[in-house]
Amino acid sequence: MPTPFDHAMNQLERATKLAFFSPEFLERLRYPNRQIRVSIPVTMDDGSLRVFEGYRVQFNNARGPYKGGIRYHQDTDIEEVKALAFWMSLKCAVANIPMGGGKGGVSVNPKTLSAGELERLSRGWMRALADVVGAHKDVPAPDVNTTPQIMAWMADEYAKVTGETNGAVITGKPLDAGGSEGRGTATAQGGFYVFEALRSELGLPEQCRVVIQGFGNAGEHAAEIWSKAGHKIVATCDSKAAVRNPDGLDIAALYVHKKSTGSVAGFAGGETFEGSELCFEPCDLLIPAALENQIRQDNVGRVQAKAILELANGPVTPDADDALFARGVPVIPDILANSGGVTVSTFEWEQNLNGEHWSEAQVFEKLKTMMEREAVGILNRSRELKTDLRRAAFVIALERIKDAMK
């Protein structure tokens, strides 16, 4: 099975057929600047010792410090983190923020850890990597299964190890620990601005039937934002099950249900079904907001959505991209659609460096302007090049990285 990094390199190759990039530049982009693996010993609550494997991949810093989240997942490995770090390099260029690309992770199912074990693991990650991160070197953030609380532990650990107390070393912190207004919802909010900027151009109705895969950091906020704007969330899922209601799910009630039971399964306001079937529900807009490799050559024929917006990183494989393009189903690519998260992370970093605190209205106004501008730029470029949105986004990102590398 091709890895996410194989897919990333495949995407790079396809996009670079559309514009001139030197072979030397492309060769450079196939290798991360640095890949770091560390062992993180953690004393468990029962007194035993477990060693976890942690990662940081620093892909490209031509445009600024490495930037990207830290993922806690049982399937995470260095190959996945490398792909995610590559995508971050392009994403920050698409968003036109002064950041390079990096990513981190730990191979762990955090749901099996107590709060104390999670804290010791998170502090351990930072202790092991404190010499390679830094406000002007490499700035981590949340990703799958990591939270503002985890960022706060890490920021605190960094301060203890290095004596530097400026929070700009890590973003996605809680508000009272130097976080930014709006960071929690930024990924979904940014995706929504992109959707609004492109909706009519992509032939989508004013009120869409929306399916959201994932009810975590990105998905749960997307459900809230799209439904508040008058769209119908007809199905969603978490790692345990999916739930559908063709008349639209009551998202506030679903959120309460998930908080109290730990899953969307069994929600009274809908019908529970198999999570693996979620992406094939009929809808106008499908929003994958979970993990990579969800829509592939072997299942793309079953996708009924009229358009896809990738809040997850890498959910649609290159083969599936081609099949969707041939069918006229636009895919709004991850490096544009979910770049609102890292954009507001960069606002947080700026606020920390300058000792400022911006209001939520300021944050969202800036975010909206930036997302709309890049979305329209990518749409126009895709029309000029007669290609899909992903290739157009890649070309724009690569041009920006190339300029910085000169």
CA distances for 143 relative to 118, 208, 283, 311, angstroms: 15, 27, 27, 12
Closest contact distance (angstroms) between CB of 23 and ligand GLU is 29
Q: Which is nearer to ligand GLU, 167 or 270 (CB)?
A: 167
Beta carbon nearer to ligand GLU, 129 or 329: 129
The whole-angstrom separation of Cα 225 and Cα 180 is 19
DSSP per position, 91-134: HHHHHT-S--EEEEEEE--GGGS-HHHHHHHHHHHHHHHTTT-B
Which residue among 32, 54, 65, 68 contacts ligand GLU (CB under 6 A)? 68
The region of 111-119, 158-166, 340-348, 398-406 touching ligand GLU under the rule CB under 6 A is: 340-348
Alpha-helical regions (H) of 213-354 = 219-228, 251-261, 318-326, 334-337, 339-354
What's the CA gap between 223 and 234, in Å, rounded?
Answer: 10
Using a 10 angstrom Cβ sphere, with 0-12 exposed, 13-18 middle and 19 or more buried, the burial of residue 45 is exposed
User: Which one of 67, 91, 103, 258 is the catalytic residue?
Assistant: 103
Token output for 265: 């399964």
Task: In angstroms, give the least distance from the CB of 12 to ligand GLU.
Answer: 18
In the complex, minimum distance from the CB of residue 186 to ligand GLU, in angstroms, rounded to a whole number? 8
Which CB atom, from 67 or from 257, has the smaller least distance to ligand GLU? 67
Q: Which stretch binds ligand GLU (CB under 6 A): 18-26, 49-57, 63-71, 397-405?
A: 63-71
Q: Binder to ligand GLU among 54, 65, 69, 179 (CB under 6 A)?
A: 69
**Bridge pairing between strands 331-332 and 307-309:** parallel
Determine, following the binding rule CB under 6 A, whether residue 345 of this chain makes contact with ligand GLU: yes
Among all residues, whose Cβ is closest to ligand GLU?
69
Closer residue to ligand GLU in complex, CB, 89/313: 313
- Structure-token match 């492309």, residue found: 26
Active site residue 368: no
Query: Contacting ligand GLU (CB under 6 A), which of 7, 67, 232, 402?
Result: 67
User: Is residue 341 close enough to count as binding ligand GLU by CB under 6 A?
Assistant: yes
In the list 60, 61, 76, 171, the residue contacting ligand GLU (rule: CB under 6 A) is 171
Query: Residue 303, interface with ligand GLU (CB under 6 A)?
Result: no
**Kind of pairing, strands 271-273 and 285-288?**
unpaired
Binding track, positions 135-154, relative to ligand GLU; x by CB under 6 A: ------x-x-----------
* Segment contacting ligand GLU by CB under 6 A, of 74-82, 201-209, 295-303, 339-347: 339-347
342 binds ligand GLU (CB under 6 A): yes
Q: Contact with ligand GLU (CB under 6 A): which of 60, 107, 213, 338?
A: 338
Distances, alpha carbon 340 to alpha carbons 102, 121, 194, 195, 274, in Å:
16, 28, 9, 12, 30
Q: Where are the alpha helices (DSSP H) in 229-317?
A: 251-261
From 18-26, 189-197, 271-279, 341-349, give the range in contact with ligand GLU by CB under 6 A: 341-349
**236-240 LR contacts (CB < 8 Å, sep 24+):** 236/211, 236/212, 236/264, 236/278, 237/212, 237/213, 237/264, 237/275, 237/278, 238/214, 238/263, 238/264, 238/265, 238/275, 239/275, 239/290, 240/264, 240/265, 240/275
The footprint of ligand GLU on residues 70-109 (CB under 6 A) is 91
Binding site residues, ligand GLU, CB under 6 A = 67-69, 91, 141, 143, 171-172, 313, 338, 341-342, 345
* Residues catalogued as catalytic: 103
